[in-house]
Amino acid sequence: MPSLNEDMIRMIIKGDTTAVENLLAQGADANTTGGVTAVGASNTALMWAATEGYLEIVELLLAHGADVNAKNASGYTALMFAAEGDRRHIISLLLDHGADISDRNHYGETILMTIARRGQTDIVQRLVKMGAQVDATNKIGDTALYLAADNGHTYTVKALIELEAEVNTANLGGWTPLMMAAARGDLETMTVLLAQGADYRPKNRWGATALSEARNSFRSRQAVDLLIQAGATE
């Protein structure tokens, strides 16, 4: 016979809030771990709810004493799962309950980097005000600013610069935020970066510059014009 805890994990994954509430009332452990398959067996109930995006269940579990900073066998927390799933309301709730923002995934990516990649500008601002290191890098040298630029999130790029993020960083491949924005033909992000002193001169490991990448972008004419106006030359 399945235990209360096993039933609760199944109901969480199913998204049955009423059933989860009833099982908690019957004595199910808000900090239980388990999964319907071997993968994720060390995930807590809170991790499952955060992963699946069930805000009401997250609230229920926290109200019943779920440990917001528990880690699974891979070192992941509920906040890390919520961030990677872009569950903004759950992220905010977990932060309200003291979730640790210093943890990193296997790629060395911080919560701030993950959120910047998703373009959740208000949460990025909150994280930095909470003490997140704005210029921290992952294992390949990407910063939160670079990841925001890489994914076309101009407002997040602007917010990070206002929070004193360094504009002229380069990852292990020599890619700068401006170079990536130019490669994307992202005129809005390019404009913000250039206005804040982004250097168009660096070359990446393949000898490419922001200008040469701009020439290959889908908005090549406008992107090239922006860089030439800023002073870039062949």
**DSSP character string of 76-106:** --HHHHHHHTT-HHHHHHHHHTT--S--B-T
CATH number of the domain to which 92 belongs: 1.25.40.20
Q: Which residue type does 58 have? A: V
What pLDDT is recorded for position 63? 98
Q: What is the pLDDT of residue 49?
A: 98
- Structure confidence by residue, pLDDT tens digits, 219-233: 999 999 999 999 998
pLDDT at 164 over 70: yes
In a domain, 20, yes or no: yes
Tell me how crowded residue 233 is: count the other CB atoms within 10 A of its CB: 9
Nearest to 48 by CA among 68, 34, 69: 34
How sure is the predictor about 116, in pLDDT bands with cuts at 50, 70 and 90?
A: very high
What 3-state DSSP class applies to 44? strand
In a domain, 212, yes or no: no
Q: What is the pLDDT of residue 222?
A: 97
User: Reduced to 3 states, what is the DSSP secondary structure of residue 110?
Assistant: strand
- Domain membership flag for residue 47: yes
- Predicted local distance difference test score (pLDDT) of residue 1: 45
Residue type, 96: D
Q: Is residue 67 part of a domain?
A: yes
49 assigned to some structural domain: yes
pLDDT tens column, 41-54: 999 999 999 999 99
At 137-163, the pLDDT tens digits run: 999 999 999 999 999 999 999 999 999
Q: How many domains does the chain have?
A: 1
Is residue 120, in this structure, part of any structural domain at all? no
Mutual angle of helices 177-184 and 187-195, in 10-degree steps: 150
93, part of any domain = yes
For residue 43, the enclosing domain spans: 1-100
**What would the pLDDT profile of 66-81 be if each residue is shown by its tens digit?**
999 999 999 999 999 9
- Report pTM: 0.94
The answer, yes or no, to whether residue 92 has pLDDT greater than 80, is: yes
Q: How far apart are CA 230 and CA 186, in angstroms?
A: 16
CA dist., res. 170 & res. 205, Å (int): 11
30 lies in some domain: yes
**Model confidence over 1-37: pLDDT tens digits?**
469 999 999 999 999 999 999 999 999 999 999 987 7
State both tokens at 182: 């130019």
